[in-house]
Amino acid sequence: MERILFYILALIMIGFALASVMSRRMLRSVIYLLFVLCAVAGVYFMMDYNFLAAIQLTIYAGGIIVLIIFSVLLVHHIEMRMEIARPTRQLLTALACSLGLAAFLSVIYTYDFQVSGPGPGTEVSVIGAKLLDYGEGGFILPFEVISVLLLAAMVGAIVIAKGTKLSENKNEVK
Amino acid sequence: MDMETLLLLRQEVSLLLIALVLLLFEIFANDRNRAGVVSLAIVLFGLHTALGFMDMKEGELFGGMFRTNALIHMFKNILNLGVLIVLLQSAEWVKKELIPQNRGTEFFILMLSSLLGLQFLISSGDFLMFYLGLELSTLPLAALAAFEIYRMRSSEAGIKLILSSALASGITLFGISLLYASSGSIYYAELQGAISENPLTVLAMILFFAGLGFKISLVPFHFWTADVYEGAPIGIASYLSVISKGAAIFILMILFFTVLKPLMHLWENLFYLLSVLTMFLGNLFALRQQNMKRFLAFSSIAQAGFILLGLITGTTLGVATVIYFILIYIFSNLAAFGVVQAISTETGKEQLQDYEGLYRTNPKLSLVMMLGLFSLAGIPPVAGFFGKFFLFTAAASKGYYFLVFLAVVNVTISLYYYLLVVRAMFLRKSEHPIPYFTNTVYMRIGLVITVIGILALGLYSPIYDYIYALSSTLN
């Protein structure tokens, strides 16, 4: 049963990922991506990573997708379709991608992976304690560094938004 | 954990504090005193740099996620010094261009957060901190590259930098996840014994290397370099070319010499190939550049090829020569970039032909530029010669004679285009030379430090001995 469920999720993921990359309309690509992210959450649920799955749904499927939709809607030419590349280029890209996929798959399938023991648990309380732990296996430092990263990203975003607009001759400040 | 062990984080905490003080300053500043941020930031950062030279104990924090020792600490000081020079050289540009637009403080905050990222990157003890450091150092740089957002080229530079760096860090991350899959740990200390040679780890190493190769702008990953350097403000271009490149080489060295040591006979060949490619491509493309920033971009690609040549050895000698070379490279490249910055801020000119007859009007600037270029080319009395000489010695000591021969060919090519600039400045006459102008105090200090650095590193040998003594801690 579990195996069947997994393959269904995997099919959804691969199918919609392909659709998302191949679609020529921006908004449709984003919606296809939404399904991919939801299916990933499904895999997390299957592995009993309930907290991670909830985060995946709220942040990725909820937040990030809405953010992307907003930015797509703010783009002027929403109806614009992506242009189709020349056939030789398509062929070369397809060739490179399949070669890469073959290399990765062959390496991953021939490797003898070790099954790891059970982790420290996936309850929210354990995760919370780990995030504040400063000893071995604790994550307080990365947690704090991420906050600096977010601060820097916000400052950067503000700076770009504050910039003067391009003038008519595109070279001078208005 | 007590206060004393927390002192190991001293450099990072003080950087973060400076950034927060500047943020507070921005909140309370008004139009009249806003320009004060330039002096405030430079003085605070100068203090930070000076205090950094105090001794640091060896140790690790947070269960091995953060570690530091004398070598790492010294490299942090080198980065601090480099950023101080960049800030000094950018001060006039910030005052002239950014303060009127009310965007001066953000420049410093972003620059310092990027440096903070690099500091975390080089003292990371596991791949999580490695990745966060990489991101923290790159993300602010994309905003900085697009700082002159009203210029098409600058916004183009920002977009190019963020897209290619997103791709590169994605590839690195995939490599890291494969390494994790092969051994079940992301801590360097645990990985060190656990890595054996099999297809999975080799694939992981190649992917991982690709991401760092982007930062160092080695040849297959160099496409962004010239466009970003040309479009970005000059201070950012010089930061990208020396600081972030230097830190990336340093962490590459730590990881490949310790964690990935079992795969050495493989990455030796990889480094060999990329070193030759990078040197030739960088040099040949630099020959035909007319824009000074693009010219320096390709020259910095070529220099990365030379550095890779020193990394091949994997010995203490290799470590010492590479760090010594990076130090010289920082000073020399910042001297050249500083002059380009000074001239560009004053007159807005960036083409090679604009430099014709510069010696007649601005002899001091021409001399600094000449010294920087001679050092980059490796002409004997200045430091660059010793840097290159030691690198070649290190490679030759492991029997890579043909590689050294190719490198010498490249030095000859590079000599030609560095001398082109010198010829334009000293021998050519121009109808409209750049008129005489005086530099601000900050710019002068910035240039004088680079000149002292170039001369002292070449003439005062205890610096190299000190680096060599510390380098033995890595192996």
Q: How far apart are CA B222 and CA B227, in angstroms?
A: 10
B458 with B381: CB under 8 angstroms?
Answer: yes
Instruction: For chain B, give every domain's residue range.
Output: 3-471
Per-residue burial over B17-43, b = 16 or more CB atoms within 10 Å of its CB, e = otherwise: ebbeebeebbeebeeeebbebbebbbe
Q: How far apart are CA A40 and CA B211, in angstroms?
A: 25
Neighbouring CB atoms inside 10 A of B386's CB total 22
B319 with B370: CB under 8 angstroms?
Answer: no
Q: Between B199-216 and B292-311, two packed helices, what is the crossing angle to 10 degrees?
A: 150
How far B1 CA lies from chain A's nearest CA (Å)?
A: 8
Mutation for testing the B interface, residue in A101, A160, A170, A172 having most B CBs under 10 Å: A160
Q: Are the Cβ atoms of B113 and A155 closer than 8 angstroms?
A: yes
Q: How far apart are CA A30 and CA A72, in angstroms?
A: 9
A92 with A18: CB under 8 angstroms?
Answer: no
* Chain A from 42 to 81: CB within 8 A of any B CB: none
pLDDT single digits (tens) B435-452: 888 888 899 999 999 999
How far B54 CA lies from chain A's nearest CA (Å)?
A: 24
* Chain A from 104 to 163: CB within 8 A of any B CB: 104, 106-108, 110-111, 113-114, 116, 134-142, 145-146, 148-149, 151-153, 155-160, 162-163
- CA B423-B427-B433 angle, to 5 degrees, is 100
- Flag whether pLDDT at A169 surpasses 60: no
Coil, strand or helix at B430: coil
Q: Which CATH architecture has domain A2-83+121-173?
A: Up-down Bundle (1.20)
**Using a CB-CB distance cutoff of 8 angstroms, which residues of chain A are in contact with residue B147?**
159
Closest-CA residue in chain A for B154?
A171
- B66 sits in which H/E element: strand B66-68
pLDDT of residue B348: 84
Q: Phi and psi (nearest 5°) for B292?
A: -60, -35
Q: How far apart are CA B65 and CA B95, in angstroms?
A: 39
Q: Are the Cβ atoms of B117 and A160 closer than 8 angstroms?
A: no
Placement of tokens 């010695």 in the chain = B393
pLDDT of residue B196: 83
Mutation for testing the B interface, residue in A116, A141, A162 having most B CBs under 10 Å: A141
Coil, strand or helix at B291: strand
Which residues is B61 bridged to in the sheet? B66
Placement of tokens 């990765």 in the chain = A104
* Tokens describing residue B164: 């290619």
Closest-CA residue in chain A for B131?
A142
pLDDT of residue A167: 45
How far B217 CA lies from chain A's nearest CA (Å)?
A: 23
* Chain B from 274 to 303: CB within 8 A of any A CB: none
Is the Cβ of B145 closer than 8 Å to some Cβ of chain A? Answer: no
Q: Would you say the C-alpha torsion B434, B436, B441, B444 has a positive or negative sign?
A: positive
Mutation for testing the A interface, residue in B99, B106, B141 having most A CBs under 10 Å: B106
How far B452 CA lies from chain A's nearest CA (Å)?
A: 33
B316 with B471: CB under 8 angstroms?
Answer: yes
Q: How far apart are CA A120 and CA A69, in angstroms?
A: 37
pLDDT single digits (tens) A22-51: 888 888 888 999 999 999 999 999 888 888
Is the Cβ of A15 closer than 8 Å to some Cβ of chain B? Answer: no
B76 with B66: CB under 8 angstroms?
Answer: no
Q: Are the Cβ atoms of B143 and A142 closer than 8 angstroms?
A: no
pLDDT of residue B193: 80
CB nearest B200 (choices: A107, A135, A157): A107
Q: How far apart are CA B206 and CA B308, in angstroms?
A: 15
Q: Are the Cβ atoms of A149 and B139 closer than 8 angstroms?
A: yes
Q: Are the Cβ atoms of A138 and B203 closer than 8 angstroms?
A: no
Q: What helix, strand, coil percent values describe chain A, rounded to 5?
A: 70, 0, 30
How far A104 CA lies from chain B's nearest CA (Å)?
A: 8
Q: Phi and psi (nearest 5°) for B187?
A: -80, 135
CB nearest B136 (choices: A114, A148, A167): A148
Q: How far apart are CA A124 and CA A49, in angstroms?
A: 10
DSSP assignment of B343-354 equals HHHHH---BGGG
Coil, strand or helix at A160: helix
Count the residues in chain A. 174
* Tokens describing residue B117: 């990222």
Closest to B222 in 3D by CA, of B312, B275, B289, B298: B298
Using pLDDT thresholds of 50, 70 and 90, give the confidence band for residue A76. Answer: low
What percentage of chain A exceeds 90 in pLDDT?
A: 41
* Tokens describing residue A11: 């099919």
How far B414 CA lies from chain A's nearest CA (Å)?
A: 34
Which residues is A25 bridged to in the sheet? A81
How far A2 CA lies from chain B's nearest CA (Å)?
A: 23
DSSP code, position A169 = T
How far A78 CA lies from chain B's nearest CA (Å)?
A: 20
Is the Cβ of B435 closer than 8 Å to some Cβ of chain A? Answer: no
* Tokens describing residue B391: 């690198």
Please, what are the averages of pLDDT over each run of 10 residues along chain B (475 residues)? 78 92 89 86 93 84 86 92 94 87 89 94 92 93 86 86 91 92 86 85 91 88 89 92 92 89 88 92 89 91 91 85 92 93 88 86 90 89 87 87 91 90 86 82 92 89 85 74
How far B105 CA lies from chain A's nearest CA (Å)?
A: 10
Q: pTM here?
A: 0.91
Closest to B69 in 3D by CA, of B188, B243, B234: B188
CB nearest A160 (choices: B102, B135, B149): B149
B162 with B227: CB under 8 angstroms?
Answer: no
A170: left (phi over 0), alpha (psi -120 to 50) or beta: left
B184: left (phi over 0), alpha (psi -120 to 50) or beta: left
Closest-CA residue in chain A for B153?
A171
Computed on alpha carbons and rounded to an integer, the radius of gyration of chain A in Å comes to 22
Q: Would you say the C-alpha torsion A47, A52, A55, A61 has a positive or negative sign?
A: negative
pLDDT of residue A165: 54
- Flag whether pLDDT at A124 surpasses 50: yes
Which residues is A81 bridged to in the sheet? A25
**Using a CB-CB distance cutoff of 8 angstroms, which residues of chain A are in contact with residue B103?**
159, 162-163
> Between A and B, how many residue pairs show a Cβ–Cβ distance under 8 A?
110
